[in-house]
Structure 1
Amino acid sequence: MRNVYIVTHPEATHHVENIVGGWHDSTLTPRGVEDARRVAASLRNLLPEYLPGDNGGTMLFSSDLRRTRQTAETISGLLDLEIIFDPGLREQSYGAAEGTPAGSVSRLPPPAQGNRMQHQDGVEGSETRHVWAGRVYSALDRILAAGARDTIVVTHGGSATYLIAAWIGLPLTAAGYVKFRLSPGSITHLNEDNFYHDRRVLDLNLTGHLGIPEPRA
């Protein structure tokens, strides 16, 4: 059996300042720092028999931006795990719009029909969904190749969608419409069984550890 726990970083300064995130290197707010502790404690309960290391143990991967780095360091401190930082787990790059007030830079939404993955939003330096999703898909390949029984992945809300899509085998070319709504500080539990090797989404967007009621099925 193999488990992957996707963690979205908790509240960050760009959330409360209402500015565009992406690769803008914001930090966790005081609330976010406290929620990161709650995430770590929840993971400790989900992994009661965890063992550091790969090939039968637990590994911790993270985006290298500061808000995810802070979250991963909190988890690492409680679970005594080494952090492997992977830039492929970053949020979408919004180019010149990053760090600006939300809505102050015009962006073209993808078309309702057509090649949404290759759409250019008109902002200098921003990533297409194809580039963004492609690097997230590749990051999951690297994570799974490490061979851990249990893996914690700290990432961003948008990139978590593509981690789930890659996990269930959705082709990159068919990912133009996929979107999972994932709250800051959430945990999503993915699982693969040893016999059929079916890849399941056991729990999506868990938030009870933050004191937020879980969404009804």
Structure 2
Amino acid sequence: MAARFIVEADGGSRGNPGPAGYGAVVRDGDTGQIVAEAAEFIGHATNNVAEYKGLIAGLKAARELDPDASVDVRMDSKLVVEQMSGRWKIKHPDMQPLAAEARTVFPRGRVAYTWIPRERNKDADRLANEAMDAGKAGRQWEPRPKAPAVATAATSVDEPPLETAAPKAGWAAPADLGTPTTFVLLRHGETPLTPEKRFSGSGGSDPELSDKGRWQAERAAEALAARGSIQAVVASPMRRTRQTAETVAARLGLDVRYEDGLREVDFGDWEGLTFAEVQERHPDDLSAWLGSAKAKPTGSAESFTTLTHRAGVARDKIIARYAGKTVLVVSHVSPIKTLVRLALGAPPDSMYRMELSAASICAVQYYSDGNASLRLLNDTSHLR
């Protein structure tokens, strides 16, 4: 059955026109739980342009979760609601293409529009202001990290669930939060580039697993089959992750669902080079990249800030689709480290302080109150 979502969207401009941004949240239509967020600083624009862009972003976020969904849009902009409902004409030339784009996201008849007072649109308003604050600081908005839960150290992938979790305020028992969604994060097995420690992202040769990498995938499959709780498999569409995921899924008797947001970073001109070679050829770019999550590899259009956004969207899509289940997520070094970082609420440079071996296993649990708990990091016991 297709999902039902509620999209709440807002936009603002400090000056009208002036520095502008939008925010949007997607809620589960049955529970009201937020399953996706979007926000962006859009530069110099009017309130109405920002509101329309927030609407489009919210609709696209809902479509990413389920393209067959029905959507109830709720906004405190009377103008946008009346225009998109067809009751008011759209006369302004800046509004016409935005309204047209909004209508293309879902087929006619699957989106309804409702006006709500401003006090009932606080989450979207908050995100719009966060986006404008980020723009004022010279950066783009990033998803807020999930608050870490109080946990004991984990030593194996099948450690039992936590007895308590830490919500945003106070304490709650698991019964209060429901069954968490568990990500078992598996890095792909080795490729010929792995032991040479060469940059291998989504802009390179897309290598396949080596003989050792295939052996590692088999060992991971054995360990995860013994665990016995994996209910779904989602993977990056790159060759090495497909091969790893398909090996494990065959052992588990499951299909693989592919999610583009889990692919590795595009390392541009660094693809195939060692760290020493990049340091020799592109020393300034490398220094900038190591010093800022907004910096990009030479010749690439993707920074760790960009990765954080798409990995966060991928995470929210998986949680929405498989709420309360245990999902094997097969990905790469950078996306897995990003998901771990967000779960811990750690700063971007914490990624440089994590070790993540080929075919290693991590585990993160996500609770319904928005908290996350890191249960396992870089487990390679199945490879010994």
Question: Above 0.5 in TM-score?
Answer: yes
Q: Name the structure 1 match of 2:221.
A: 40
Amino acid at match of 2:372: R
Equivalences for 1:58-77 in 2 at 5 Å?
A: 58-77=231-250
Give the whole-Å Cα distance in 1 for the aligned partners of 2:378 and 2:207: 22
Q: Name the structure 1 match of 2:207.
A: 26
Please state if 1:86 is matched with 2:247.
Answer: no
TM-score by length of 1: 0.80
Q: Name the structure 2 match of 1:165.
A: 341
Please, what is the CA RMSD of the aligned residues? 2.3
Q: Give the paired residue count.
A: 195
- Please, which runs of 5 or more residues in structure 2 have no aligned partner? 1-178
Distance 1:189 1:96, change over 3 A: same
- The one of 362, 365, 374 aligned to 1:191: 365
Amino acid at match of 1:86: E
Amino acid at match of 2:270: A
Higher relative contact order (CA 8 A, sep 6+): 1
Equivalences for 1:1-217 in 2 at 5 Å?
A: 1=179, 2-16=181-195, 19-23=198-202, 24=204, 25-46=206-227, 48-50=228-230, 58-100=231-273, 103-104=277-278, 105-106=281-282, 107-110=285-288, 116-121=292-297, 123-148=298-323, 149-168=325-344, 170=345, 175-179=347-351, 180-192=354-366, 198-211=371-384
Shift of 1:178: 2.1
Give the whole-Å Cα distance in 2 for the aligned partners of 1:202 and 1:145: 20
Shift of 1:152: 0.5
Give the whole-Å Cα distance in 2 for the aligned partners of 1:140 and 1:111: 24
Larger Cα-atom Rg: 2
Kept in 1: contact 2:289–2:296 (CA 8 A):
no
Amino acid at match of 2:287: P
SS in 1 for 2:201: coil
Shift of 1:175: 3.8
TM-score by length of 2: 0.47
Shift of 1:199: 2.3
Shift of 1:17: 5.3
Distance 1:181 1:74, change over 3 A: same
Amino acid at match of 1:154: V
Shift of 1:164: 1.5
Bigger helix fraction: 2
Amino acid at match of 1:89: L
